[in-house]
Structure 1
Amino acid sequence: MRRYLLALAATLGFAVTSLPADAAVADEVENCAACEAVLDLALANPRREGDRARDTWRHPQETLSFFRVRPGMTVVDYMPSGGWWTRVLVPYLGETGSYIGLNPDVTAASEGWKSYANLAGTLPEKAAGWTGVPAARIGAYNTDGLPPALNGTVDRVLIFRELHNLKSEGWLARELNTARALLKPDGLLGIEQHRAKADAPDAYADGSKGYLREKDVIASVEAQGFQLVGKSEINANPRDPANHDAGVWTLPPNFRLGEKDRDRYAAIGESDRMTLLFRKRP
């Protein structure tokens, strides 16, 4: 782990003067006390300058710790979009780890989803520019183009605020089945999702507003061969009433209503979110 920290620091352009003593490395690798230092370096990367304002709401250190993500793992980042998590995960996983961006199968999707096609042809070069890591080290696929050899090789599948899209488009069961096939026997699925109130009506919690009821998410995921092993309030925001007519996009960073009540929505902050961890069932 000490060598990893030194290599990462050199890659990111930092000088590291205080690292764990060699005698303690074996124990620290076991309990991953050093993972925090590795992630601190990745989060301090100057390439993340434009991302850092959202750390307050996305809690990357705490979230990846809860999802038990470690350097050297193979991790799928589901629907990486603009690369916010890509810029964290690629340097954190390091040269011994593997980052894989994954988009859904959109071959029969509506026109609005066509830009999500051909992730293999677009993400590696973008991610290389975002992170400084060679494009050859960035895996990228749509689920209809996954090589069968990847099945059973992934340590973590992470889905950040995308389940509402999968539910709205009718893809949820299909994509969760793909995630389950990719995971190792002891693999974990981490989900962060905008959270509707427990008594929200079906019409509000159907995905069209961005919010889903936690009990529904748990039931849907467990129905596809997973078992809930942990819940966290890391990304909770009790100020969010989760009842916006224009959906979750009313809140920052989208501000769908423009200047209308902007100060009020800014004071609420980003959405209330559930953070759930599931294990693949045998």
Structure 2
Amino acid sequence: MRRIFASTIVAAGLCWAGPALADQTDMSNSVSFEDVLTQDFRAKDSIRDQYRHPAETLSFFQVKPGMTVVDFMPSGGWYTRVLVPYLGEDGIYIGLDPEVPSDATGFLATMRDTASRVPQQAAEWLGDEGAEVRGANVGSIPEEWNGTVDRVMIFREIHNMHRRDWLRPALVAARKLLKEDGMVGVVQHRAKADASAEYTDGNKGYLREQDVIALFQANGFDLVASSEVNANLKDTANYPGGVWTLPPTYAGAEEADKARLQTIGESDRMTLLFRKRP
């Protein structure tokens, strides 16, 4: 028996880019993720809630039970374990990965056979709870899915998509998948506005907000709103080793420096909402 979780919360940190979204949003009826976020299967995941703010982020993206939602590059399934139970038995969760070679190894190998892998993983984590779960790689999306998706989510992966030339195919696919009023929610490690082109080529994990907006606009999406819900003013965003210097990875950090990095926390992140342009 699948269950639908719901209660109430008010989202914070909103910065509207225009009136179009505000006209459609009744904040007094905002959806809460409290019941989902306190489930036992999220015991380890919940440690990062203080940095990822899943309830506020998904509320800002106007994700609601019963929707069809694409999660691009779901990776270890952190958001899978939020979205699948929250979308409920009337919803559909689609894990979508880029096209990777059949002989791929390492990081790339984790994105092979997404059509079978994502549903299997979700079943292992969640049993038969929540939404129908589907998976696909960008090059093998069933045609009947086109025009059926309410939201496409991209969490902290734009840098990988940019540096590996996955962004253009992904956004072409997103435009086909989305309904006419469909939207794309983006969370991405944020570089300083004056960061160099070399530092923001994707290999450090950080991108400039104005560059991300420009990339989406060039591929048929209009910015609707932005939020500072995932901002972290303590992040200097200038580490030689990139964003992975910060917790929880601490890549290249000296043991003596970890306490200082812990006080910074995870990265400063932009949170952007785009609508498919007609």
Give me the TM-score of the superposition, normalised by structure 2: 0.87
Contact 2:74 2:80 in 1 (8 A): yes
Q: CA deviation at 1:107?
A: 2.8
- 5+ residue gaps, structure 2: 9-24
2:31 aligned counterpart, secondary structure = helix
Question: Whole-Å Cα distance in 2 between the matches of residues 133 and 89 of structure 1?
Answer: 13
Deviations 1:151-199 (A, max 9, x none): 1110000000000001111121121111111100000000000000111
Q: CA deviation at 1:128?
A: 1.2
Q: CA deviation at 1:134?
A: 6.2
Contact 2:91 2:132 in 1 (8 A): no
Question: Is it true that 1:141 corresponds to 2:132 in the alignment?
Answer: no
Task: Give the alignment of 1:38-117 within 5 angstroms.
Answer: 39-107=33-101, 111-112=105-106, 113-117=108-112
- 5+ residue gaps, structure 1: 1-5, 10-15, 20-29
Contact 1:204 1:211 in 2 (8 A): yes
Equivalent of residue 209 in structure 1, options 165, 180, 204: 204
1:47 aligned counterpart, secondary structure = helix
**Structure 1 consecutive aligned stretches of length 4 or more whose deviation exceeds 6 Å:** none
Q: CA deviation at 1:65?
A: 0.8
RMSD value over aligned CA atoms? 2.3
Pick closer, same or farther for the CA change 1:141–1:72 going to 2, 3 Å.
same
Question: Which residue does the alignment assign to 1:194?
Answer: 189
Q: CA deviation at 1:32?
A: 7.6
Question: Whole-Å Cα distance in 2 between the matches of residues 109 and 272 of structure 1?
Answer: 35
Deviations 1:38-64 (A, max 9, x none): x21111111101111111000011100
AA aligned to 2:268 is D
Question: Whole-Å Cα distance in 2 between the matches of residues 57 and 109 of structure 1?
Answer: 35
Q: Which moved further from structure 2: 178-187 or 132-141?
A: 132-141
Question: Is it true that 1:119 corresponds to 2:110 in the alignment?
Answer: no
1:138 aligned counterpart, secondary structure = strand
Q: CA deviation at 1:268?
A: 0.6
1:36 aligned counterpart, secondary structure = coil
Pick closer, same or farther for the CA change 1:135–1:121 going to 2, 3 Å.
farther
Question: Whole-Å Cα distance in 1 between the matches of residues 111 and 213 of structure 2?
Answer: 26
Deviations 1:195-254 (A, max 9, x none): 001110001000000000011000001100000000110000000000011110010111
Question: Whole-Å Cα distance in 2 between the matches of residues 88 and 220 of structure 1?
Answer: 28
Question: Whole-Å Cα distance in 2 between the matches of residues 238 and 197 of structure 1?
Answer: 11
Q: Which has the higher helix share?
A: 1
Pick closer, same or farther for the CA change 1:136–1:275 going to 2, 3 Å.
closer
Question: Which residue does the alignment assign to 1:3?
Answer: none
Task: Give the alignment of 1:1-282 within 5 angstroms.
Answer: 7-8=3-4, 31=26, 36-37=31-32, 39-107=33-101, 111-112=105-106, 113-133=108-128, 137-257=132-252, 259-282=255-278
Question: Whole-Å Cα distance in 2 between the matches of residues 104 and 48 of structure 1?
Answer: 26
Question: Whole-Å Cα distance in 2 between the matches of residues 135 and 70 of structure 1?
Answer: 13
Question: Whole-Å Cα distance in 1 between the matches of residues 267 and 131 of structure 2?
Answer: 35
